[in-house]
Amino acid sequence: MLDYTQWRNFTKVIDKAMIACNNSGHDVIYDFAEVSKIVDAGATSKPVGDYELSRYACYLIVQNGDPRKEVIALGQTYFAILTYRQEIADRFNQLDEDSKRLVIRGDIKQWNQMLAEVAHDAGVIITNEEFAIF
């Protein structure tokens, strides 16, 4: 899924992710559970080492992957955006109720202005009173 064509190249990413996991105090054995799977090797089948990954392990693998691969770059961007959103939510949740109300009012004002601009650009001409009713 992450565009690694050879397992040996991908294991380097897994190894780096395991180091990050260990250094962050997580249980590497839990997050990177070693399993084996049977693969066809010509006329015979043989067991090959593999991993069952936790969500956290998947995150670490994407963060330690090759950003020249589009799917890795998109994953890294996705996690960066989620981290930013969580930081904003954490800051908002630390506000008192009055401050939260002011932030929400500011957001609503901004969205109403954008809605009015889009309506105007679309040729919908309405008075302020009609917009308020809308």
Q: In terms of domains, do 71 and 19 share one?
A: yes
End-to-end CA gap in the chain: 47
Q: What pLDDT sits at residue 87?
A: 96
The domain of 39 spans 1-91
Q: What pLDDT sits at residue 12?
A: 93
Positions in the chain short of pLDDT 50: none
Q: In terms of domains, do 61 and 112 share one?
A: no
Q: What pLDDT sits at residue 102?
A: 95
Q: Are 21 and 31 in contact (CB under 8 A)?
A: yes
Q: In terms of domains, do 31 and 82 share one?
A: yes
Measure the CA angle with vertex 125, ends 119 and 126; round to 5°. Answer: 95
Q: What pLDDT sits at residue 45?
A: 85
